[in-house]
Structure 1
Amino acid sequence: MAAFRRLVLRPKYLESRWDDFYALTILALIPIMGYINEALRITTTNPEWALRSPIGNLVAGWLQTWGLTAQGASDLHLPFVVLHAIVGLGFIASIPFTKLRHLIVTPINILSRPRRNSGELDTIEDIDNAEILGAGSIEEFESWQLLSFDACLRCGRCEDACPANAVGMKYSPRELIQTLRDTMQASLVTPLSSNGHNGNQPDIFGDEYSWSCTTCGACAAECPAFVNPVEEIISLRRYQVLSTGKMPKTVGETLRNMERQGNPWGLPPQEKTKWASGINLPIANPEEKIEVMLFFGCAMAFDERNKKIARTIVNLFEQLGVNFASLDMDEGCCGETARRMGHEYLFQVMAEQNIEIFHEYQFEKIVTPCPHCYNTIKNEYPKFGGDFHIEHLSEFLEDKFKGEPLPVKNGQKATYHDPCYLGRYNQVYQSPRELLKKTTLNSVEMKHKKEDSFCCGGGGGQMWLETDAETRINHHRLEEAVDTDAELILTACPYCLTMFEDAIGAKGLQEKIRVLDISEALVRERIK
């Protein structure tokens, strides 16, 4: 089956090297020689149990048909046994030096990998005193990362799933891991220079390579060996941001905005709640217990389009009678953008500040419309003492609308886009779709959906990075939405919404298709 797939089906992401064919050959040769040895034994001794060895007996019949006698089989048996043993021992000896090493290394990698939530990154402990911040050379990667390089099967599933690679960017998760593995092996025989670098560092250690990744996690989700290239990307970014200061201009500007103004947009914090002027937005009181602490996130506070969604959510909560409040000026950036861009120190400062503020208030749960805030608070804050019950807005609203009758559909088509940080990292696929059922819209699915969803291109700090017009991931995803003939794109992420609106504007499709947040669809269709 493996040979048929490699030689006949030949998936486009599958590359072939000499050790691929060596593995197929030797794995076929060992059992074939075993059956021949069994056939020679049967031909020589004609045992009573021959029928209980059907393949060996069948081969023995063929050999006898071709004129092999018992004496001839006896003469050949010992040489074939020795040859079979040599091939078998050669197979074992070749394991460390060929692709076959994954038979040993991959199980070890799976068993010994750090046990973390899928949306949680590795934490730099005691960052104020840490000597190594990220990885600027192969020697600076963690031991579990080095092991994962050897566990890579080079199968190409990660590359096939990667949105950056799909649109033509000069980035491949397979190339990343394989280059790191080759560099690791070279470092074993190449003397290190006085500064600890081995002189064999490839372009991946340069200033540009790591910034094409959206950290969508599609590569890690597809990997059968549990290798996660996103971890290596973050290590490379941390080194650039925290150790050398060499990074793309827009990355530096975004991080400076977060350091000075507390948000990636670089707008004064005094403007954080201007969107709420004219509406009744409850403000949390430390002395009063509430059901829901509504955490809007920076996009809702500072982006003009997403401000409309924030007002819609407040209106929706009022209509549903939810006991909720917001932190008002006490709400800070969750720090997700800083962490994905490699500024671990800034993230930890922001996380600790937010956790301290959350502990001052009494609430049952946090609800947020932003999957990036959701993933950060749910999966990364517990490491810093912030273990809170949090729900994404779609999960919360699904529970509120549960049991309501389904409306009659009006014929307008809508397609739902799964945000990576809500779906792939946190397995929230059904809640938004259940909410879509509560509208009069007809749901149609895109080619890539749910676990196989295609990134919008805005994650991992890409919202603030400049990309070539020919390699924009959001344009590719928009084309998939247009192919469904939908009139509306629904999503549950402010970043995704921004990326879609940018693509729609760039392609001049404003009259053909629009993008809404799932809460806007509910208000438009259900709340009068």
Structure 2
Amino acid sequence: MNIFNEETCQRCGTCLEQCSFLRLPIESAKEEISKMIETRDSRKIIKNCAGCSYCNIVCPTGSSPYELIREIRLRTYREKGVRSLSLITEEMPYNLMSIGLEIDTEEKKRDLIQYENPPKSDKMFYIGCGIPYCFPELTKTKLLEELPILGGMKYCCGGYVHSSFGENEAMIKGLELYEKFKSLKVEKLITFCPGCDIMIKGVYPSIIEGFNIEGQTIIEYLIEKYHKGALHIKNKITQRITFQDPCPWRKLDKKIYEGPREFLEIIGAEVVEMKHNKETSLCCGAPLSISNRSLATKIAKERISEAESINTDIIAHICTGCLAVLSKHATERNIKSYYITELAQMATGEKPSLKILENAEKLQKHVIKTISKNPNIILGQYIIKDGKICRL
């Protein structure tokens, strides 16, 4: 587990000056980081931090300032709680996934019965919670016919627990999840979400003794199939494509960045890089899309401007949050946005549904409508203690 190194930190303020969300003037940044170290508090951080950990990348002394920020956030959330929207569990009647289920309900419920009750297998496609509730069309492909699909709130990776309430609560969640995986005889999960990647590949192996579930991204899986001669490219996609590297990958081995580039080359693309790429990639703004919409929109537009500056035709994604937030602004600049498996479908001769933008807009409108009808959704605050959800 990383910790903030107070001894090596020079209080230079670079972390807060270069933060996409804060961008404090350098003198203000110096004052703020010094205050954060002294008081372990910061209203600016609680309001504006998206948790992207870009500050760790730009820190000139490698002092891991995000760990200080995370300490501040954890203490605040433990004391003041979080909104129900953030708690991805069936115990909460109103969270982003349960609200998403209210759109095209019957079809999603039919799919969820399968995803939550798959046949036992040593390998499974692990779609997490976002895809089945918000973007179910991504599972409707021949690419996923080889293995059972596992997903739904019942099998949420627990990233929200780790980010809001820390290692101890994450361990409780992880042990419960590990027992479920073992009961299904799972040894390897093919993941579709960078949040799941960090939990399966990074967090749980470091805090749960004996956690031995292997994680493989869907990109790595497709590359492996291609090299085995089991994935046939029928239609080369000979366009300029850039990849939106997701924030959670910063915490994993840098080799993970090679996969998307290799796969895009396999399908015939000319891979082009935005100024900020791989571990220096900029956040899309999605984590603040409800709590600070104006700032999230500003960040998203800036990211698309960076893509536009390299004359890319397409932005490829592995994170549905990035795709949902950036696709609208990309379309306005005549840039197409696709989830990586949608590109794989096109290349292998299959027609994807291409409903991500439509569904993202539906979901956003429905969330706003639901909150306006039930304002208590954003007024109630909750904590997780000893694995149990408690209302403050």
TM-score w.r.t. length of structure 1: 0.56
Structure 2 equivalent of residue 391 of structure 1: 216
Structure 1 equivalent of residue 309 of structure 2: 483
For the pair 1:365 / 2:201, whether they are aligned, the reply is: no
Structure 2 equivalent of residue 178 of structure 1: 34
Question: Contact between 1:162 and 1:172, CA under 8 Å: does it hold in 2?
Answer: no
For the pair 1:327 / 2:150, whether they are aligned, the reply is: yes
For the pair 1:416 / 2:264, whether they are aligned, the reply is: no
Question: Contact between 1:293 and 1:363, CA under 8 Å: does it hold in 2?
Answer: yes
Structure 1 equivalent of residue 7 of structure 2: 150
Give the SS at the match of 2:6.
Answer: helix
Question: Contact between 2:36 and 2:42, CA under 8 Å: does it hold in 1?
Answer: no
Q: Percent identity?
A: 25
> What is the Cα deviation at residue 211 of structure 1?
3.5
Structure 1 equivalent of residue 227 of structure 2: 402
Whole-angstrom distance in 2 between the partners of 1:462 and 1:274: 26
Which of 294, 299, 314 pairs up with 2:125? 294
Which of 310, 321, 326 pairs up with 1:495? 321
Question: Contact between 1:169 and 1:212, CA under 8 Å: does it hold in 2?
Answer: no
Structure 2 equivalent of residue 218 of structure 1: 54
Give the SS at the match of 1:362.
Answer: coil
Corresponding letter in the other structure for 2:220: E
Question: Contact between 1:407 and 1:440, CA under 8 Å: does it hold in 2?
Answer: no
> What is the Cα deviation at residue 366 of structure 1?
0.8
**CA displacement, residues 111-167 of structure 1 (integer Å, 9 cap, x when unaligned):** xxxxx3xxxx7xxxxxxxxxxxxxxxxxxxxxx64xx2232124454346422235x
Whole-angstrom distance in 2 between the partners of 1:272 and 1:221: 44
Corresponding letter in the other structure for 2:33: I
Give the SS at the match of 1:359.
Answer: helix
Question: Contact between 1:262 and 1:332, CA under 8 Å: does it hold in 2?
Answer: no
For the pair 1:265 / 2:97, whether they are aligned, the reply is: yes
Bigger RCO of structures 1 and 2 (CA < 8 A, at least 6 apart): 2
Whole-angstrom distance in 2 between the partners of 1:351 and 1:273: 29
For the pair 1:434 / 2:262, whether they are aligned, the reply is: yes
Whole-angstrom distance in 2 between the partners of 1:273 and 1:436: 32
Question: Contact between 1:409 and 1:442, CA under 8 Å: does it hold in 2?
Answer: no
Whole-angstrom distance in 1 between the partners of 2:340 and 2:114: 22
Corresponding letter in the other structure for 1:227: S
Whole-angstrom distance in 1 between the partners of 2:325 and 2:31: 27
> What is the Cα deviation at residue 524 of structure 1?
0.8
> What is the Cα deviation at residue 364 of structure 1?
3.4
Give the SS at the match of 2:68.
Answer: helix
Question: Contact between 1:263 and 1:333, CA under 8 Å: does it hold in 2?
Answer: no
Structure 2 equivalent of residue 230 of structure 1: 66
Give the SS at the match of 2:200.
Answer: helix
> What is the Cα deviation at residue 411 of structure 1?
4.6
TM-score w.r.t. length of structure 2: 0.74
Whole-angstrom distance in 1 between the partners of 2:219 and 2:64: 28
Give the SS at the match of 1:327.
Answer: strand
For the pair 1:518 / 2:343, whether they are aligned, the reply is: no
Question: Contact between 2:288 and 2:296, CA under 8 Å: does it hold in 1?
Answer: no
How many residue pairs match? The answer is 342
Question: Contact between 1:273 and 1:301, CA under 8 Å: does it hold in 2?
Answer: no
Structure 1 equivalent of residue 383 of structure 2: none
Structure 1 equivalent of residue 385 of structure 2: none
Give the SS at the match of 1:260.
Answer: coil
Corresponding letter in the other structure for 1:488: I
**CA displacement, residues 233-287 of structure 1 (integer Å, 9 cap, x when unaligned):** 2222222222244xxxxx423245645159643448896981765999795334x
Rate the CA distance shift 1:272–1:369 in 2: closer, same or farther, 3 A: farther
Whole-angstrom distance in 2 between the partners of 1:477 and 1:212: 17
Which of 111, 133, 144 pairs up with 1:317? 144
Rate the CA distance shift 1:373–1:282 in 2: closer, same or farther, 3 A: closer
Structure 2 equivalent of residue 308 of structure 1: 137
Residue ranges of structure 1 left out of the alignment (5+ in a row): 1-115, 122-143, 184-200, 246-250
Residue ranges of structure 2 left out of the alignment (5+ in a row): 351-392
Rate the CA distance shift 1:155–1:513 in 2: closer, same or farther, 3 A: same
Structure 2 equivalent of residue 253 of structure 1: 84
Whole-angstrom distance in 2 between the partners of 1:467 and 1:170: 25
Whole-angstrom distance in 1 between the partners of 2:235 and 2:77: 53
Corresponding letter in the other structure for 1:437: E
Larger Cα-atom Rg? 1
> What is the Cα deviation at residue 467 of structure 1?
3.3
Corresponding letter in the other structure for 1:334: C
Rate the CA distance shift 1:206–1:151 in 2: closer, same or farther, 3 A: closer
RMSD: 3.7
